[in-house]
Homo-oligomer: A and B are copies of this chain.
Amino acid sequence: HDGCGRRLSDGEFDRYSRQMIVPGMGKEGQLRLINSRLLIIGAGGLGCPAGQYIAGAGVGTIGIVDSDVVETSNLHRQVGHATARIGMKKVDSLITHLRGLNPLPTYIPHPFHITSSNAADIISQYDLVMDCTDNPATRYLISDICVLLCKPLVSAASVQKSGQLIVLNCPPAPQGLVDGKYPPCYRCCFRKPPPAGSMISCGEAGIMGPVVGMMGVAQAGEAIKILASALHVPSQDSLERNLLQPTLLIYTYDLESAVGPYSFRALKMGGRKKNCFACGENSTLTLSGIKAGSPNYEQFCSVPTSSCKL
């Protein structure tokens, strides 16, 4: 039923041959990609490069969520847009670019904010979520929905000269299952948001294009391997693979010196927490509760949604 038994068309074979011959990918991995549905939330500095490699690799259905329009100040880093598309909705602009690169996938625009009201309806249509957003309230919301819907989440963030990447909830395990080693959610790793005003906002901090670009491409790399290797399918086998060593990758870019020993660090994070508000054993988090406004993410984060779109 997963469509992995069908033949590849000549066009597909031509296009994907160079990645299909990579050991561990093969026709099977390629068909898994073609039969997958992936959601990119945020069509900015992370979503643009991520989208290019996701589309290039042939993920069959690609949804993109963003309510913004393209601005001139985006274009040094949001490489899936174009000067001629300034003023266009970012989802439409990025899909224009991705369709030009690869017309085979189905592209689904979601040209609005992701909110407590619509998040579950959107995310439930996909197999894997990439968090390419720019504010903590949305990040907690997305993670909570991914826990409740059992979706793996590839999360990245970047400001100024720093980037971070982590694969969460992969392979997904049902909420409340804590006897054993299960992967963490966003709240397991980042229990509390920073207090209002303590965040160095992107508007004042700025952002180097290649820094956010590295993180976006890395996100695509993680998403492709998860879908192609079926690491997102809950099974004892997938749990035993070393996703059980949750890793936060941090990238530090230095304008004054070349890449060096501390440019990348892989930080060892804990697994699922028993007392996690979202995925822990006594969690009261539900889809209907979220839709009804509980928890209140804006209040939890105590800051208005960032007005700077990276």
Contacts and interface: CB of A to CB of B under 8 A. Distances in A.
A58 B53 CA distance: 23
State the number of copies, please: 2
A304 B115 CA distance: 57
Contacts of A205: 21-22
A160 B81 CA distance: 28
A84 interface: yes
A259 to B, nearest CB: 5
Contacts of A255: 22, 24-25, 29, 225, 228-229
A207 B266 contact: no
B56 A75 contact: yes
Given A52-B79, A258-B242, A217 B221 contact: no
Nearest to A226: B258
Interface size class of A (residues with CB under 8 A): 35 or more
A245 interface: yes
Interface stretch (A97-105, A106-114, A123-131, A133-141): A97-105
Given A207-B18, A210-B218, A260 B247 contact: yes
A161 interface: yes
Contact of A204 (B14, B21, B208, B257): B21
A230 to B, nearest CB: 11
Contacts of A119: none
A207 B15 CA distance: 12
Contact of A210 (B102, B224, B242, B261): B224
A254 interface: yes
A55 to B, nearest CB: 8
A116 B207 CA distance: 40
A47 interface: no
A1 interface: no
Interface string A142-174: 000000000000000000110001010010000
Interface in A250-298: 253-264, 266, 268
